[in-house]
Structure 1
Amino acid sequence: MRDIAAEVGVSIATVSRVLNDHANVAPRTRDLVLRAVERSRLRDPEPDAPRTVYVRCPYVLTDYFGLLVSSIAETLKLHGVRVLLDAGESSQQADALARLPDEPGVDAAILILPPEDGDRLVALSRTGLPFVVVDPRTPPPPDVAAVSAAHFAGARALTGHLVGLGHRDIGVVAGPAEWLAGDARLAGHRAALSEAGVLPVAHHLWHVEPTAEAGHRAAAALLDHPHRPTAIACFNDKLAVGALRAARERGLRVPDDVSVAGFDDIDLSQATHPRLTTVRQPLREMGRIAVTQLLRMLDGPRPEALHIELATTLVVRESTGPVARG
């Protein structure tokens, strides 16, 4: 594709659009590209250059994101594909996706929790560049391939576990509002409460940044409230670590006085005392499935299942217990 683009004097994205039979290519340009393709087939074959996939993760590569990126990179390597990694908060520049189709040597992309909205993803899709979104921040457009975890089912199982232990006053420390994963987890939590005939309480919900310090502040406010909850469900494990500290500072025993649960099942969840009850996300499998979807887009027909949700698993440990009596 690079050779053809150079020969015709067009971008790699334009060649991709022609080969994928996209409509938004001028007839003369399409004819020039197809003729160049035919000429390339008549030449003596040369060893294929390894393909390159641009992997963008505009966040610090710790815990959650580190596992995703490692899985993607390892799987691409198994298939002989090179990785061009763009990671860290510096990659949150506004024009990152706009420049991507003309990035030299890039054949496809994997975007992890992209901060851009659906319109930007649709615009990228129309360039013809194959890409897959992992853990989308907003509902992915119908024609954009995406891989995520079953956040609704995971949160529903977690809250159902707490309800089964007798908890009715359950505080929630959620991530930022209007994130797809957070909205789905909150919906799952409320579904489990509804099944038990319990109405959610407004002052029991806090939306914060997903850090241990923010979790500590939110849990402190919940535990200092005159009607403090008997359990706190946190929408990631770092938030739960902050909640454990807030409980300890107030002389509350976990889980005897208050239960605390997390989400994600990162390594940190087993290093706390007590160990965290949490929901395991299949992060490594998400990375492998994203690569599989992308390679199918590159090598064959367009996948039929564009939006894939992988099952989550409730992991019960020592941080949750029956509601305290009296």
Structure 2
Amino acid sequence: MDVTIYQVAQRAGVSIATVSRALRGTGPVSSKTRQKVLKAVEELNFTPSRLGVSLAEGRHAANGIVFPNLAGPYYTEVLLGYEEVAAELGRSVVILSTKGRPNVREAVKELAGRVDGLVVFGRTAPDDLVAELIGVGMPLVFISREPMAGADTLRSENIESARKLALHLRGHGYTRYAFLGAPYAPGDDISQRWEGVSGVLGERIEPVLTAEYTVESGHEAALRLLRSPNRPQALICSDDEVALGALLAAEELGLAVPDDLAVTGWDDIMAARHARPALTTIRQPMREMGARAARALDELISGVRETCAHLNLATELVIRASCGHHPQEDHK
């Protein structure tokens, strides 16, 4: 079995980040520590992978960020927050969208060899590649993924906010619900939202798949669902774009929102505030998430911090007219 960077770090009595910096010649590493690392490398006959060799060639003053898709306001807001901080830190940003790419693994691996660190959304990169990146000491920050050893993780709180939303809707007396945009990956944001609402509503809510988390997919799925004889009284949507599609479907079918159907979303994109009726949703700090990801990655690259951090950002239930309640003042 090949020797890993973890074994080198354990033998030298340092972190994997320190091993990475010692081998790459980046960041503050004392001469004594570097000698300990090199001695461990020699004793264990450690040979970095091809990816590790490319990473060791030097700093690029660039960060990579891997999105599953660049369409939609959610990714736009996260990217804006990320780029603002990256520019402040003097780093360029190389963006990779994996949608439609035939070989995602090779595309992400090629990007990793051209940057000093990566931010990756969820499970956009294959698990075996993630393990390889961590194994060679690549500075990594994951957004919207469960905590994992060897990388920072950053996500918004989902479960408790979803519970609050479900409890609020239950208080209106609705008895038939659907969750539009059903979860498909264990541990991701949508799965956590489903966990929260289904924990409150139990058998009264059913998951309904959408092809994508877009207005078009929400519209198509909602049309099929709302034409059924036993249609739900309330649609809890995975995100605001799906919810906006559901509002269009309800209008097309002559259903009044919220009198005939309650609709809720998630994210609080600008369009949610200006929809008619205005959309009840969960506000998450999208731009802050991007900014924090950029700072976290810079800390890992520069060696300011060696230990990995796992952060959950707070979210907020925003009640507006689409769920059958008088909208609250929304000053934020």
Instruction: Please tell me the TM-score bracket, short chain as reference.
Output: 0.7 to 0.9
Check conservation: 2:183, 2:194, Cα contact below 8 A: no
Deviations 1:149-208 (A, max 9, x none): 112122222212111222221111024512511110100011222xxxx5344xx32021
How do 1:1-326 and structure 2 match up within 5 A? 14-15=23-24, 21=37, 25-26=41-42, 51-87=61-97, 89=99, 93-103=104-114, 106-136=115-145, 139-178=146-185, 180-193=188-201, 198-201=202-205, 204-208=206-210, 209-300=212-303, 302=305, 304=307, 306-321=309-324
Q: Distance in 1 between matches of 2:286 and 2:61?
A: 24
Alpha-carbon offset, residue 303 of structure 1 = 5.3
Of 302-311 and 169-178, more deviation after overlay is shown by 302-311
TM-score (norm 2): 0.76
Give unmatched runs, 5+ long, in structure 1.
1-10, 31-48
Structure 1 residues 158 and 89, CA gap change in structure 2 (3 angstroms) = same
Q: Distance in 2 between matches of 1:214 and 1:79?
A: 38
SS in 1 for 2:105: coil
Structure 1 residues 29 and 72, CA gap change in structure 2 (3 angstroms) = farther
- How large is the RMSD of aligned CA atoms in angstroms? 3.1
Q: Distance in 2 between matches of 1:264 and 1:253?
A: 23
Letter in 2 for 1:182: I
Check conservation: 1:12, 1:102, Cα contact below 8 A: no
Structure 1 residues 99 and 13, CA gap change in structure 2 (3 angstroms) = farther
Check conservation: 1:17, 1:25, Cα contact below 8 A: no
Letter in 1 for 2:319: V
Alpha-carbon offset, residue 313 of structure 1 = 0.7
Q: Distance in 2 between matches of 1:148 and 1:54?
A: 18
SS in 2 for 1:284: helix
Letter in 2 for 1:207: L
What is the aligned length?
285
Check conservation: 1:54, 1:109, Cα contact below 8 A: yes
Q: Distance in 1 between matches of 2:213 and 2:199?
A: 23
SS in 2 for 1:89: coil
Deviations 1:88-130 (A, max 9, x none): 6356722133334432xx2222223442233321211111121
Structure 1 residues 246 and 61, CA gap change in structure 2 (3 angstroms) = closer
Alpha-carbon offset, residue 311 of structure 1 = 1.1
Letter in 2 for 1:162: L
Alpha-carbon offset, residue 86 of structure 1 = 2.7
Q: Distance in 2 between matches of 1:221 and 1:57?
A: 30
